[in-house]
Amino acid sequence: MEVTVIPNHTCHGVFAALLCPGHRPRNAAATRTAILDAARERFAAESYDDVGMRDIARDVGVDAALISRYFGSKDDLFLAALDSCTDGSTLMSGDKADFGLRVANEIVFEPKTAEKLKGMAIMLRSIGSTKAAEIVQTTCSARFFNPLEEWISGPDAPVRARLLAGFIMGMSVSRELGGGGFNMDLADCEKMRDRLAPILQGLIDG
Amino acid sequence: MEVTVIPNHTCHGVFAALLCPGHRPRNAAATRTAILDAARERFAAESYDDVGMRDIARDVGVDAALISRYFGSKDDLFLAALDSCTDGSTLMSGDKADFGLRVANEIVFEPKTAEKLKGMAIMLRSIGSTKAAEIVQTTCSARFFNPLEEWISGPDAPVRARLLAGFIMGMSVSRELGGGGFNMDLADCEKMRDRLAPILQGLIDG
DNA sequence: CGGTCATGTCAACGCATGGTGACTTATCGT
DNA sequence: ACGATAAGTCACCATGCGTTGACATGACCG
């Protein structure tokens, strides 16, 4: 029996978007950034190995082959997604005097999908995968470790930077291990923040 | 053209092990533990997704099918490997007064394959994999978080335990991101230890 | 020595993945 | 209005995975 296959969208023209909801007008640049956005979101939520090209393609509403065309290999896409994140410098944009409190607040209270920490979320998700490890290590050094080390710029800056980075990442991992949250009530979260802030600040001050 | 396939080992008898190096006498219990050891080692070095049943089988010198026979699914093997690790209680076996220094020393100077931290290495490697996440979370709570929380047993024990666990794991992650080490000379490593120890100790003392 | 059962191997299945080239279709300049 | 070309889709490939059931074989018991 012959079945008539209905293509995804037969509508066209300038009103296509109105007549046919979900229709994406043909626009390479827009599609490219849509893919990049979806990839960033996926890689922040799942590990390199768990994210499939077809998953990202489905999120965007596009064929997986198009991703390969635009970004090359999966490695290239992963790197592009990581590069498209706001880097660690946003953590260092404010005043040094209240760095500890600012960061502690973000770690404890901001949802894990906070834009500022999305790059770190991606790195933590895929740090275990050997295929992504090299990219993660390189990016982390270039966009997080080194700027932090330069920014704090006191005695033993490398040591203090490594401790800071480790603590920040560790709290993210800890939250992840708790199943996406710290599983504590508000009062305990505040206590955690109040204990964490001076520790971080102490590493900043020297 | 017919080729004669030589089986792995045609030797037999009580002297087989002597006559035929690499020969493993048939012993279910010994083979089982050999598989478990190999799995533990693999899972500590690579993520859940990167470790293949055939890899472990090759390490042991056994067919992959045998692993399925002994342990069931890959999940079951992963859980068994994790359970076979010395748990976090070894960190708490000593005196509370020098916990900070002891742990800081282990974190900074012990090789990442240290037996005491192997369980944590496995968890960190596979925390990103959705297929292993649930097992990791459950095991981590049961064998690390909860004992630690109970052991420190002061005011705000949950908060302090989470911070401690986060810091310890974070330093492990940080070392991993550095490419398997902190990339610092001995003097800096000692400085790191000397800064880390009092922070950990402070969380123990309350 | 010979049978027997546990122990281990082999070949294959079904599935999912990343990637590729040929094809279709919408868009835009003329 | 129409053809050229960019934009997107489709079918497919090679590969690797975990797992299974049928088969081989070595160690032990009588």
Contacts of B154 (CB under 8 A, 6+ apart): B160, B205, B206
What would the 3-class secondary structure string for A52-99 be? CHHHHHHHHCCCHHHHHHHHCCHHHHHHHHHHCCCCHHHHHCCCHHHH
Mean pLDDT of B104-108: 92
Cα separation of B145 and B162, whole Å? 7
User: Least CA distance to B206: which residue of chain A?
Assistant: A195
How far apart CA B203 and CA B162 sit, in angstroms, is 10
Q: What is the pLDDT of residue A9?
A: 43
Mean per-residue pLDDT over chain B, rounded? 87
Q: Which residues of B touch A130 (CB under 8 A)?
A: 46-47, 50
Tell whether B93 and B191 lie within a shared domain. yes
The pLDDT of residue A182: 86
What's the pLDDT at B2? 30
Dmax over Cα atoms in chain A, in whole Å?
A: 78
Domain hosting B25: range is: 16-82
Q: Select the residue of A129, A171, A191 nearest B170 (Cβ to Cβ).
A: A171
* pLDDT (mean) for A19-42: 86
**Mean pLDDT computed over B106-117:** 78
DSSP label at residue A128? T
Strand D nucleotides in reach of protein CB atoms, 7 A cut-off: 6-11, 16-22, 25-28
Are residues A71 and A104 located together in one domain of the fold? no
Whether residues B94 and B187 share a domain: the answer is yes
Task: Say if CB B88 and CB B148 are below 8 A apart.
Answer: yes
Whole-number Cα distances in Å, B171 to A147, A183, B104, B201: 18, 22, 10, 15
pLDDT of B173 strictly over 50? yes
Number of domains present in the structure of chain A: 2
How many C-beta atoms surround the C-beta of residue A130 within 10 A? 15
Residues B109 and B175 in one domain: yes
Indicate if B123 and B33 belong to the same structural domain. Answer: no
Which CATH number goes with the domain that contains B185? 1.10.357.10
Structure tokens at A176: 């992840």
Q: Residue A69 CA to nucleotide D5 C1', Å?
A: 16
Write out pLDDT tens, residues B25-70: 889 999 999 999 999 999 999 999 999 999 999 999 999 999 999 9
- What's the half-sphere exposure (Cβ side, CA atoms, 13 Å) at A190? 3
- Hey, are the CB atoms on A184 and B166 less than 8 Å from each other? no
Q: Judge: B195–A203 Cβ closer than 8 Å, yes or no.
A: yes
Q: How many CB pairs under 8 A join A and B?
A: 146
How high is the pLDDT of residue B115? Answer: 77
Does B160 sit within 8 Å of A128, measured CB to CB?
Answer: no
Give the integer Cα–Cα distance in Å for A135 and A123: 9
**CA separation for the pair B117, B107 (Å, rounded):** 9
DSSP string, B32-68: HHHHHHHHHHHHHHS-TTT--HHHHHHHHTS-HHHHH
Within 8 A of A204 by CB-CB distance, chain B residues are: none
Model confidence band, residue A4 (pLDDT cutoffs 50, 70, 90): very low
Looking at the structure, tell me whether residues A96 and A74 fall in a common domain.
Answer: no
In angstroms, the CA of A49 and the C1' of D3 are apart by: 45
pLDDT over 90 (residue B160): yes
According to the model, what pLDDT value does residue A166 have? 95
Strand D contact with B53 (CB < 7 A): yes
* A136 plus A166 within the same structural domain: yes
**Is B174 close to A184, i.e. CB distance below 8 A?**
no
> Chain A contacts of B156, Cβ < 8 Å?
188, 191, 195
Q: How far is the CA of A53 from the C1' of D18 (A)?
A: 21
CA gap B55, B64 in Å, rounded: 8
Tens-digit pLDDT profile for residues A11-22: 444 444 445 555
